[in-house]
Structures are given as C-alpha cells and as structure tokens.
Chain A
C-alpha cells in the first residue's frame, strides 16, 4: 500500500525538463532578491582594515579576505558566553510556546466550552494591541517575581506568544474532526486525544512556531537590556552592542558581529525546516 502510494507520488512528481528549468529560473530570481544583502554584509565582515569598504561601485569579493574582524569581536566581547545565555533564553521561550500554545490551541480548536469565544476574542485583541507598550509593565511584574537580572526573567514574557496560540489553533482546526470523533468513541480523554491523535498532525506548525519563537527570543534587544544588569548574564544581541559604542564604530566589526548573531538562526532554521517539510509531506499522503 505504502509502496503504491510512493510510486504514484513519484509519477506525479515527474516534471518535464522545461518545467524544471522554469522552476530553477524562478528560484534563482527570488534567491538574488532575498540574499544579496547578506552576501554584502558577509563580504564587509571579511574585509581588512586597509580595504576601503565604501568604493563607488560596491565590491562583493574582498581583496584580502581576513577573519581578523571575527577574532577582534571575540576579543572584545565574550561571544561564546553570551551565545550560551541567548541559547538558554531561546530554549525557555521555545519550550514554553510549544507546551502553552499547543495546549491552548487544541482546546480552542477542538473542545467546545463556555468562555472559549471570550478567550479567542481576547487573543485576537492582543494582536492589535500596541504590544510595544507593555515593556515597563513587564519589568514591574518580573521585578516583583524577583527575576530581574536572570535569564528566566528575560524569557518569561515571551514564553507564550498569543500569535503562536492562534497559529496552533489554525493547525488543529485543519485536522479532520472524524479522527477526534473516532477517538472519543474509543473512550480517549481530551489529553490522550491531544497527544496521540492530534499532535502528530500539527508537527509542521509546531516547527513553525518554534522558529518564530527562537528568532523572537534571539533577536530581542530592548527587553533583555532592561532586565539584565550583570555583564555575565547578557545575551548576544545586547553584548554585541558594545561593538558600536560611542567611541568605536568600525562597520567591519559590526558586520562581523551581525554575522555571528545571524548564523545560529540560519542553522536553527536549516535544522528545523526538515521536520516541517517532512510534516508537509506526511500530511499530504494522509490528506
């Protein structure tokens, strides 16, 4: 059965040579549009001190490529320690969102209960609230919990993102109700249905919200800056700000710092994307 499926899928996937060429052409066009800026940034970070980075026509290939800027960044800022702090915060935020958003998303999509509309309404409302306004209120809360200057304090407000709850709800809604009904008839309770019946179907969206949560936690600057005081606790984005201080402003170092904080995100995405593309394909076969 599975084999037959595969063969059919294969047959469907066979494209004419023309289609393949067109597809690659389109991919290449979008590629140029999307990544050129980063190539430029990477190139700047590899340029030596004696090389003019502001020539009239931008040069993409450094004349004398050097890693000196990266070594300098590492000397100026304890990059590894800060990256570890950022990773801890990111893991807390990703974990919190996976658990919290999944639970709430499932309840809102599949269970009927009094007050669900109210919760949905409040969730949607938060989308349009100027969320930026919350930072000092958050600080007061985190302070009253005694979590200032801790990584948990940095992670806390982002540990359940309302947009992630909505995305998970959308994913659960897309799963056919028949599965849920069948499990109910079999006597499975809500928790069992969530874990065994529904969860496998939303793995794709789970990796999506993980990526969003990771990026959000990783890139955040102002909030960690406000919560953290001890230099040992700083996250990477805050720590790297020391590169563009009042008296130092070397674009090459800043470019190198940007690349250092940028690469982990690309890696996380590159790793996670496999899961959700697999999720995409699984879903298709079940469809």
Chain B
C-alpha cells in the first residue's frame, strides 16, 4: 500500500474508477456464474438435498460421513500420488517440447499443430486407443514381452497401482500440448540476446536451458505448477475412462471428483454429501494454491 501512495504522488496513475471499469465485466461473470453457485454448494453441504426433494438441514452429518468413507481415503491417496508424479513431469516436459518447436525448422508448423491434437481429442477416442494399447494383449504388453522385459503381461488396466500409473500417463499425454502452448507464448519474452551471449561464452544447450530459459519463464512456470496441482487434485476424466466409470475393483482407483460425480448424478443423487465433498476438495486445493500464490507474489 505504501508503494501506491509513493507512485501516485509522482504520476497521476488513473481515475479511481478506471480499474473497476476494467474488471467489471469479469467480476460480474465471476459473481453470477462462479461465486453464486459456489455459495449454494456450501449451503447444500449442510442439507440432505436430492435432485428432486429433500433439503432439510442436517448439520454436520455429511462431514461425519466422510470419516467413515473408505473410498474417500483411496481417492485422497490417489490424488497425492497424482500430484507427485504430474507436477514435475508436466512442468518440465512441455517446456522441453516448447523449446523443441520454438526454433525455425522446415515443417515445424505441422509438428506444432500435431502436438496439440490430444488436447482436443474426445475422451471416448482416447479411452479406446489407450485401452487398446494397454490391455493384456495390447501393443505395450506385446513390446515388453518381445523385449523379454516381462514374462506375463502386465495388468495395466486391473491392478490398482498400474491402473493409476496408466491414468497418469494419459494425463501427461493430454497435458503435453496444452502446457506447451502456454510455454511457447512465454518463451517469446526470453531475450534472444541472452542466449546468444551465452552461446558466445561457450555455454552448451543444457546450460543455456537451465540458466536462461528456465529463469525466463519462471512466472509462467509457477502458474502452470498451480494449474497442474489443482487439476491433479481434481482429476476425473482419465480415471473415469480408464476404469469405465467404476473406480476400479473395490473403488480403489477413484478420485474425489469421481466420488462427487457418483453421488450427485442421477435422479436420486446425494447432493448434500456431494456438496460436502466439494467443500473438502476446495479446502484441500487451497493449501498448495496459497503456497504457490505466495511464491508467485515474491517473484512478481
């Protein structure tokens, strides 16, 4: 705040209402289409609301029910694992990919467009292909057996941990192109002169990557880390398609969002419990978000 005072004493910044005019449309949308429904979710978490009927106040019953929910425990474990694997992979791989397609080479446009295609692919197609590749007699098991890496086919689609691993691969596959694009637009701001100077000084590509590219896109990297953290906690479609919507044997390969989906869909959905789960998810996601936002502010 003291900053502001100093600055405005030097140069008249802007009329007091200008920023508000600028953020007004976004704020309106925020309130109508995001905050209002969210507040409603908070309200419903304390009721036994169903899609048609219900809605009596039940106090903390929905939250008490969480303590006794094995599936929630599985879901939380899975989310943590997801985060641990996805955050490093999806922060680095798309950056490497962006550096790879940044330089001018003949035919590069084609590659750039091609790399983005998984992002726009329909989940059904993706599920079909991945199941085809990962099943007992699928391409990947065939390769592994041919290379004598394994004797028996690996149960990618049925074993709890392998299934989770398969879903994570799918997330990474779909995320590559998406984050690559964000990095690409940020790479424009990394000074080429710095690269050249470093090259003249004899710094190899690896060193230049770590000492120039990475610091240059740091702000973007933090934003992407936040996005990945949040989406890891909120993972849904990959687990959903890989388990055919069941959450795997015993429901051990599900996520919190899958539970929300399970409890809230259909005519007899338990909207109260689903809302309570949404609140839990919100609080859980808040922790890494606040940490990262704080880091971001220091940098910014």
**Which A residues contact B (CB, under 8 angstroms)?**
8-9, 12-13, 15, 20, 23-24, 26-27, 30-31, 33-38, 40-41, 58, 99-101, 103-104, 106-108, 111-113, 115-116, 119, 122-134, 137-138, 141, 157, 159-160, 162-163, 165-167, 170-171, 173-174, 181, 184-185, 189-191, 194, 204-205, 207-208, 211, 215, 219, 258, 262, 265-266, 269-270, 273-274, 276-277, 279-285, 287
Contacts and interface: CB of A to CB of B under 8 A. Distances in A.
A269 B182 CA distance: 14
Interface stretch (B68-76, B82-90, B143-151, B282-290): B282-290
Given A12-B199, A130-B260, A116 B19 contact: yes
Contacts, number: 248
Interface string B19-43: 1101101110110111111101100
B22 A104 contact: yes
Interface residues of B, number: 91
A112 B36 CA distance: 27
Interface of B: 3-4, 7, 11, 13-16, 18-20, 22-23, 25-27, 29-30, 32-38, 40-41, 97, 100-105, 109, 111-122, 125-126, 128-129, 132, 173, 176-177, 181-182, 184-196, 199, 219-220, 223, 226-227, 230, 233-234, 257, 260, 264, 275, 278, 281-282, 285-286, 289, 293, 300
Nearest to B118: A34
A141 B184 contact: no
Question: Which applies to chain A's interface (DSSP): helix, strand, loop or mixed?
Answer: helix
Contact of B289 (A127, A162, A282, A284): A127
B19 A113 contact: yes
A274 B30 CA distance: 31
B23 A124 contact: no
B3 A280 contact: no
Given A12-B196, A37-B125, A174-B186, A122 B30 contact: yes
Contact of B120 (A107, A116, A266): A266
Contact of A287 (B125, B184, B191): B191
Contacts of A219: 120, 122
Contact of B13 (A99, A184, A191): A184
30 contacts: A8-B196, A12-B195, A20-B105, A35-B114, A35-B117, A111-B14, A112-B13, A119-B30, A123-B30, A128-B233, A128-B285, A128-B286, A130-B260, A132-B257, A133-B41, A134-B34, A141-B32, A160-B25, A163-B227, A166-B223, A173-B219, A190-B19, A208-B181, A211-B181, A219-B120, A270-B109, A273-B113, A284-B189, A284-B192, A287-B190
A116 B186 CA distance: 24
Nearest to B194: A287
B18 A162 contact: no
